[in-house]
Amino acid sequence: MFKLILALTLLSGTAFAQSRTRISFNKDWKFFLGDEPNAKSLAYNDLKWRKLTLPHDWSIEGKFDEKNPAKPEGGGLPTGIGWYRKEFIAPANFKDRLITVEFDGVYKNSEVWINGQYLGKRPYGYSSFSYEISKFLKAGKNSIAVKVDNSAQPDSRWYSGSGIYRNVWLTSAAKVSIKHNGTFVKTFLISGDKGQSNESRKLKPGESIASVNAEIEIENKFKTKGVYKILTTILDDKNSQLQKKEWPLNTSETSITMMISGLGIANPKLWSVDHPTMYKLVVEIAQADGKIIDQYTTPFGVRDFNFDAVKGFSLNGKPMKILGVCLHHDLGALGAAVNVRAMERQLEIMKAMGVNAIRTAHNPPAPEFLDLCDKMGFLVMDEAFDMWAKKKTKNDYHLDFPAWHKRDLEEMIKRDRNHPSIILWSIGNEIREQFDSTGIAITKELVGIVKNLDKTRPVISALTETKAEKNFIYQANALDIYGLNYNHKLYKDFPINYPGVKFLATETTSALETRGFYDTADTIRRWPKDGKTKFTEGNNEWSASAYDNVSAYWGSTHEETWAAAKKYDHVSGLFVWTGFDYLGEPLPYPWPARSSYFGIVDLAGFPKDSYYMYQSEWTNKPVLHILPHWNWKQGKSVEVWAYYNNADEVELYLNGKSLGKKSKQGDDLHVHWNVSFEPGTLKAVSRKSGKDVLIREVKTAGDPAKIELIADRKNIKADGKDLSFVTVRVLDAAGNVVPDADNLVDFQVEGVGFIAGVDNGFQASLEPFKANYRKAFHGLCLAILQSTEKTGTIKLTASSAGLASSSIIIKTGK
C-alpha cells in the first residue's frame, strides 16, 4: 500500500457528474425454503419458486411452535435453510467497470454464487459484506444465488430472523475509484471560547473552526497507470458548497490511501442530539482531461465529546447524561426485515420519551439505523459481539470467532466510523472471557483492531464481573471506559473503588412488564428470585405487572435504577434494558411466552406506564400520567400512581371528591394513593404555584361497543416500502378504551396497499404476525399497512363480532 500525504492546493469548479451508480438490488428475487444445491447454476429452473422483494425474513412468516429449534429464547419461530436467486442483466460496460454486490446483512452463513461461480461465505449474520463480481459477469442474462443457513440452533440469545433481511445494492464504479466504505472523515473543533487559534489567527470568543481531515482509499484493481486529480468538496446541511479543493493523484498501485488534511469549516453548526446538523464530503476522481470518473459522498458531523471520571459525559462542552436504551434489531411483527420507516417509528417513540442514546445490542445494526440516529439526534454505542471464543449457546458465533472476528470487527468500524452519532465502540457484551485469563489477550487484540482504524472514539465492553482483580477484560488495561451491566448499588462508591476511571452503566434494569396488566403495587418482586430456584411466582396470564414492581434478580425496577444513576455525576449515563420488547428471551415465563417483557414499550409500539416515568424525568415537556385503568371490583383497594413533572403537587379526585394532594419527596419518582374502588371518573390535576398544569382522567369503561382506528400517518409514500401504523382501540359506547377487551378484530384492505403485519403486544400470543386478524390485548391491537408503488388510497376496515366497525383511509403519493 502506498500512502500519500498531501497539503493544501488549488481550488476548482468542476460540476458533479453521475460517475458511479449504486442501485437497490432488492427486487425480483426468487425464494425457496429448504436446501437446493443445484440452484447455484445459471441454468437452474426456479419457475416454481416464490417471487419476492428483499429485505426478507422467512422466520417471521412462520408458525410459532415450542419445538422449533430456535426455542422460545430465539422467538419460537422456524429457522432452517433457504435459497434466494435472481436473474439480472449486467450493468452497462461491465467489463470496464468495477461491479460490486453489497449485502447489508444476511442471517446467516450466507454463501453466494454468480453464474455458478462461488464468491464466498459470510458466517456472522450481523455483518455487512460485499463481493466484486465484474469478472464473473457476462453479456445478457446472469444469475446470483444465495444460500442462507440458519439451521444450527440454538444460536443468538434472542430472535435473529432468517434470510437476506437487510438491503442489497449493486454498484458500478470506474476501474480507478473510491473503495466501498473507503473514506474516513475526521473533524477537530478549534474554539475561540477555549482561547484556541488555528494556523492563521487567534480565534475570538464565539468563533470556531472545524478542521476536517479525510482518509480516502482508492482502489485500482486493474493497476491502471495514470495521472488523476482528487477533488474534495464540503457541502453544508442545505447542500451548499462550502469549500472545494483539488489534489494530485498518481496511480499504479492497486490500493492507495490518501491522507487529506487542511480542509475546514468556519463556525460550523455542531451536531448534537437537539440539533443534529450533518455535512457532506464529496470526493471525486478526475482524469487528466477533467472528466470526473468517480464520485463518493460521505455524510459527517462536527461534534466534540468527552467522558470524565468525575463529571461524566459532555457533548460539545455541555454536561449531559447519556439517557439510553438498549435495542435489539427486530421490528416486532415485521421481524428482522429492515424497514426504514419501522426503525424511524421506534426512534420517534424513544425520542418522545426523552431517550438520547441507543446501544445496538449486541451486534452491528443495519446501516440505515445509524443514518437515522445521525439525522434524528441519538448517540450510539455500536456493539460488535455478544460472545468471543467462549460460547453462550451451542451454535453461536463463538464457532466463527477465531477465523472471522478480525474481519468482522474491522469491517464494522470501517462501515460505521463516519457517523457522528457513534460515540462508543463496544467490543462485546458480558463476554465469558472476563472470567478467565484468555480475556486479557483477546481484549488487547480487539482494542488494537479498533484503534488502528479509529482513535477518535473510546472503546468499551459491557462487564458483569464486578471484582476488578477477577475481571480479565478489565485486567487487560486496554479499555477507555468501564462499562458496567446492572449492579446499580455499586454506582455510589465507584470513584472510591476505581479512582480516576471513567464510568458508564452499559446495561441496567431488566424490569418485567406487560402493558395494561396490574398486580398489587405493594412489594417489589424479583422474577426469577435467584439463579437456583425454578420460577413459580408468575400468574396464569403470562403477564408481569405494569406497576414497575417486577424485575429479574440481577436487575432492578426502572425507578430503582434511574434514582441511582441520576444521583451521581460520575455515572456518565445508562442504557436501560430495553427500549422495546423484542422477540425471544421471554424471561421469566415458559412457553407460550415467546417475546421479552423487558421493554418500556411493548412489541407493537404501545408504551407501558414506565414510559411516562422516563418522560417526566428525561424531557422538559409537561407530563402527568396516571395508572392503572379504572375497572375493578367494588371496594377493592387500588393503588393509584401518578408520574408528573413541572408541577409542585398532584391532586386526585374520584367522582369529583378530592382524595388529597401529593408531592414527590426525596428520591420519589411518582406519587400514589390507596383508593377504595368505586366506578366512575378518576381525575388527577397537577399544579404549579396553585395553577393547574395538566389534567388527566380515567373512566370506568362499559362493555366493548365499537372500534376506533388511529393511523400514525395518513399520507405515506407510494414507494412499496412506506408504512402506516394503525392503532386499533376497542371502545365502550362512551368512547373509553375497554381495558380488558380481547375481541378478535378482522381486517380488510382495499386499494394500493397491504397488511405487512399485525400485533397486540402480548408476549405470549401465538397468533401469526402475517395475518388479516388479531385479538385485541388490553383494549388495543395494531395493523401495519404497507404501500405499493401505485399512488392512490388504502382503505382499512376493522370489524369484530358485536362491535361497530371502523374504516380509515391512507393516501399514498410520490
Q: How far is the CB of 533 from ligand GAL (least distance, A)?
A: 17
- What are the residues facing 652 on neighbouring strands? 660, 684
Q: How far is the CB of 5 from ligand GAL (least distance, A)?
A: 43
Nearer to ligand GAL, 500 or 531 (CB): 531
Of residues 265-284, those binding ligand GAL (CB under 6 A): none
By the 10 Å C-beta count (0-12 exposed, 13-18 middle, 19+ buried), 120 is classed as exposed
Q: Which residues 563-582 are close enough to bind ligand GAL by CB under 6 A?
A: 577
Q: Of 268 and 599, which has the nearer Cβ to ligand GAL?
A: 599
CA 425 to chain centre: 15
Residues 81-100 that bind ligand GAL (CB under 6 A): none
Closest-approach residue to ligand GAL (CB): 510
User: What are phi and psi for residue 470, nearest 5 degrees?
Assistant: -100, -5
User: What minimum distance in Å lies between the beta carbon of 510 and ligand GAL?
Assistant: 3
Nearest to 476 by CA among 522, 443, 432: 443
Q: Please give the single-letter amino acid code of residue 197.
A: S
Q: Which amino acid is at 763?
A: Q
Backbone angles phi, psi at 405, to 5 degrees: -60, -35
What character string, x for contact with ligand GAL (CB under 6 A) and - otherwise, covers 337-366?
A: -------------------------x----
DSSP 621-681: S--EEEES-S---TT-EEEEEEEE-SSSEEEEEETTEEEEEE---TT-S-EEEEEE--SSE
Cis peptide before 592 (omega within 30 of 0): yes
**Which residue type occupies 792?**
G
Which amino acid, 443?
A: T
- Which residues, at least 6 apart from 366, have a Cβ–Cβ distance to it below 8 Å? 104, 105, 166, 167, 329, 338, 343
Question: How far, rounded to the nearest angstrom, does the alpha carbon of residue 761 sit from its chain's CA centroid?
Answer: 19
Nearer to ligand GAL, 90 or 484 (CB): 484
- Residues whose CB falls within 8 Å of the CB of residue 337, separated by 6 or more in sequence, listed in order: 55, 56, 57, 60, 161, 163, 165, 331
Give residue 175's identity as a one-letter amino acid code: K
Q: Smallest distance, Å, CB 489 to ligand GAL?
A: 16
Give the list of residues 6+ apart from residue 776 with CB closer than 8 angstroms, or none.
728, 730, 741, 742, 743, 744, 745, 760
Beta carbon of residue 293, minimum distance to ligand GAL (angstroms, whole number)? 47
Nearest residue (CB) to ligand GAL, 518 versus 577: 577
Q: How far is the CB of 466 from ligand GAL (least distance, A)?
A: 13
Of the residues 155, 507, 560, 602, which one makes contact with ligand GAL according to CB under 6 A:
507
Q: Which residue, 178 or 357, has its beta carbon nearer to ligand GAL?
A: 357
The single residue among 429, 471, 557, 763 that binds ligand GAL, judged by CB under 6 A, is 429
> Do the strands 255-266 and 2-6 form a parallel or antiparallel pair, or are they unpaired?
parallel
Closest CA relative to residue 354, chosen from 192, 553, 574, 547: 574
- When the beta carbons of 125 and 420 are compared against ligand GAL, the nearer one is 125
Closer residue to ligand GAL, CB minimum distance, 104 or 507: 507
- Report which residue type is found at 217: E
Output the smallest distance, CB 71 to ligand GAL, in A: 14
Q: How far apart are the first and last CA of the chain?
A: 46
Could you give the string, one character per residue 365-404, with x where binding to ligand GAL holds by CB under 6 A and - elsewhere? ----------------------------------------
Interface of this chain with ligand GAL, residues 14 to 33, rule: CB under 6 A = none
In the complex, minimum distance from the CB of residue 399 to ligand GAL, in angstroms, rounded to a whole number: 19
What distance lies between CA 384 and its chain's CA centroid? 13
- In the chain, the amino acid numbered 578 is T
Residues contacting residue 794 through CB under 8 Å, at least 6 positions apart:
724, 749, 750, 751, 752, 753, 785, 787, 809, 810, 811, 812
The residue annotated as part of the active site, out of 411, 507, 559, 585, is 507
Rule CB under 6 A: choose which of 447, 552, 640, 783 binds ligand GAL: 552
To ligand GAL, the closest distance from the beta carbon of 577 in angstroms equals 5
Dist CA 261 CA 601 (whole Å): 45
> How many whole angstroms separate alpha carbon 787 and alpha carbon 812?
7
Segment 156 to 195, residues that bind ligand GAL, using CB under 6 A: 157
Of 109, 110, 510, 724, the one binding ligand GAL (CB under 6 A) is 510
| Residue 507 annotated in active site | yes
User: Which residue, 507 or 722, has its beta carbon nearer to ligand GAL?
Assistant: 507
Per annotation, catalytic residue among 111, 430, 559, 585: 430
CB 425 within 8 A of CB 459: yes
- Could you tell me the smallest distance in angstroms from the CB atom of residue 551 to ligand GAL? 9
Q: Which of residues 458-497 bind ligand GAL (CB under 6 A)?
A: 485
SS3 state at 549: coil
Residue pointed to by grid coordinates 425471544: 584
Distances (CA, A) of 672 to 14, 91, 365, 602: 67, 67, 40, 24
Per-residue interface string for the shown chain with ligand GAL, residues 144-163, x marking contact by CB under 6 A:
-------------x------
| 315/381 with CB nearer ligand GAL | 381
Sheet holding 279-286, edge to edge: 241-251, 226-235, 279-286, 292-300
Query: CB-wise, 162 or 485, nearer to ligand GAL?
Result: 485
Of the candidate residues 61, 284, 294, 430, the single one contacting ligand GAL (CB under 6 A): 430
The residues near 22 (Cβ < 8 Å, ≥ 6 apart) are 169, 170, 171
Report H helices in 354-460. Answer: 367-376, 401-416, 438-453
Least distance (Å) between residue 235 CB and ligand GAL: 40
Annotation says 368 is catalytic:
no
Should residue 513 be labelled a site residue for ligand GAL when binding is judged by CB under 6 A?
no
Q: Give the span between the Cα atoms of 812 and 795, in whole angstroms.
A: 11
Q: How many chain residues are in contact with ligand GAL, going by CB under 6 A?
A: 11
Query: 149 vs 507, which CB is nearer to ligand GAL?
Result: 507
User: Closest separation between CB of residue 192 and ligand GAL, Å?
Assistant: 44
Tallying the residues shown for the chain, one arrives at 814
* Closer by beta carbon to ligand GAL, 362 or else 608: 362
Could you tell me the smallest distance in angstroms from the CB atom of residue 329 to ligand GAL? 13
> Residue 75 or residue 420: which is nearer to ligand GAL going by CB?
75
Give the 3-state secondary structure of residue 526: strand
Footprint of ligand GAL on this chain (CB under 6 A)? 157, 362, 429-430, 485, 507, 510, 552, 555, 577, 585
Instruction: Catalogue the active-site residues.
Output: 430, 507
